[in-house]
Structure 1
Amino acid sequence: MTASTALTLHRGLIAVDIVAFGSRRDPDVQLHLRGAVHQITERACRLAGLRWEGSHHEDRGDGLFVIVEPGTSVTTLLTGVVPELLRGVRRHNKLSSRTAQIRLRVAVHAGFVRLDDHGAAGLPLIELFRLLGAPAFRAIVEDSASDFAVAVSDYLFDEVVRHNGELAAGFRAMPVELKETHMRGWVWLPPLPANPHGLPVNPHDLPVTDRSRTGYGPPGIAISELSPEDRDLVLAVLSPLVEYLQGRMGRSRGPRPIT
């Protein structure tokens, strides 16, 4: 195929990106995460009924993007691929060490793109990556404890999402202002995952660098919520420490004046 014979067709577009990938300095960890995301994405597409071989996909270092084959309903991306991506990420995290945990940003769009010998081109593709990298989207993800987030274009929201009341209810609008792009997008965050005991994930279990962004205060013990036996035990442990610290503070301040 040459540039002159490349076809311009309306295609569904999806891009995925590992949150804070650059902060993983270990090359082995980066390669592992990169491979995991490729596997999760390919599996999600296949389980949603998409032919991986018939789609165009390219690596982006910290993620990848997929242009699905012509004739594929964009609804399949939202109701098929996205849920499978979420399941894939949470399956990976459940079976991985803390170092190999993944938080994923996903962007979904659609439009007319051109494929040739050099790859893919077209305004919708540019808009897809502006959506994925929008400062507002990044901030929403950073301020949450979520391991997964999806952003869709305003065009896709109006044409597809808005007509599905149950699906649309979970989205909220956000500005997409990056470089020369100024448009609106819509964000969806899933409920927090459960730990193996079926309880919601505690945001304080996140790395220390993430705790300040979760919207929760510092972890602590509410003495009033403990049973009488546990309260007595905690006070018995803490009282000597408090007395010791008070004594140290008193000595550091010097003798008190006689009144």
Structure 2
Amino acid sequence: MADPVHHTILAVGIDGFSSFDRTNLHRLAQREGLYRAFQRALAESGVAWDHCHQADFGEGVLLLVPAGYPKAVFSELVPDALTRSVADHNSTHRPPERIRLRMVLHAGEVSYDGYGTTGSAIVHAFRLLNSVVLRKRLAWSDSDLAVIASGWYHDEIIRHSPSSGCYEPVVVQEKETTTRAWIRLVGSAEPDYRALG
């Protein structure tokens, strides 16, 4: 087994993907929209899709970014670019094919084997992505994207950035995990931190 490798960990999932009122054809259109929007947002932010390890998980995609990319790119540039791309998709699709996304930002050591990747950092990222608190915040908003950042990612990256005022602290309690995280709603429900100087 190879030694663990440090990555920025980014995962995006389609909210409500398994809803009963969606058919498989609707879900295929949603997945196409997700991949197109995500790849475009990364390209606009200067991140090469092919430089990253990708893993599909049905309703979304896990992206492991090499350590050479500045982590601030993923909290400062990617969310706005992704929201614009999602809006473009939604403007040309019927309601069951439209997408709202949850996104997680974390970083840590990842182990590779012949089947893919694993590591406690990935487990932690998915606990945040699938947390009840994140799902509820998105459901109660009119935003197309809800971002949740781990405590580590917030303290080391976001806290020192212009967008720090857009994130709200929350407590995540999922399975064996109880931790502090930070949520940002991107879109019309987002506060205008630029107006604060």
TM-score, scaled to structure 1: 0.69
Question: CA offset at residue 170 of structure 1?
Answer: 0.8
Larger Rg: 1
Q: How does 1:66-81 map to 2 (within 5 A)?
A: 66-81=63-78
Shift of 1:76: 1.3
Report SS of the residue matched to 2:141.
Answer: coil
1:116 maps to what in 2?
113
* Alignment gaps of 5+ in structure 2: 190-197
> What secondary structure is seen at the aligned counterpart in 2 of 1:102?
coil
Residue 56 of structure 1 is matched in structure 2 by 53
SS in 2 for 1:144: coil
Aligned pairs for 1:34-49 (under 5 A) are 34-49=31-46
Are residues 1:93 and 2:79 paired?
A: no
Question: Partner residue of 1:168?
Answer: 164
Structure 1 equivalent of residue 145 of structure 2: 148
1:77 partner SS: helix
Q: Secondary structure, in 3 states, of the residue corresponding to 2:18?
A: helix
CA distance in 2, matches of 1:131, 1:174: 11
The superposition leaves residues 70-98 of structure 1 with CA deviations (integer Å, 9 ceiling, x where unpaired) of 31111111122222211111111122222
Cα distance in 1 for partners of 2:123, 2:144 equals 25
- Map 1:12-51 onto structure 2 (within 5 A): 12-23=8-19, 24-51=21-48
List gaps (5 residues or longer) in structure 1.
194-259
- Please, which of 177, 183, 201 is the counterpart of residue 179 of structure 2? 183
Q: What SS does the corresponding residue of 1:22 show, helix, strand or coil?
A: coil
Which secondary structure does the structure 2 equivalent of 1:42 belong to? helix
For residue 193 of structure 2, what is the aligned residue in structure 1?
Answer: none
Structure with the larger strand share? 2
**Greater relative contact order structure (CA < 8 Å, 6+ sep):** 2
Offset of residue 188 of structure 1: 0.5
Percent identical: 31
Instruction: Give the letter for the 1:81 counterpart.
Output: V
Counterpart code for 1:156: Y
Q: Offset at 1:132?
A: 0.3
> Structure 1 segments of 4 or more deviating over 6 A?
none
State yes or no: 1:137 paired with 2:101. no
Alpha carbon RMSD of aligned pairs, Å? 1.5
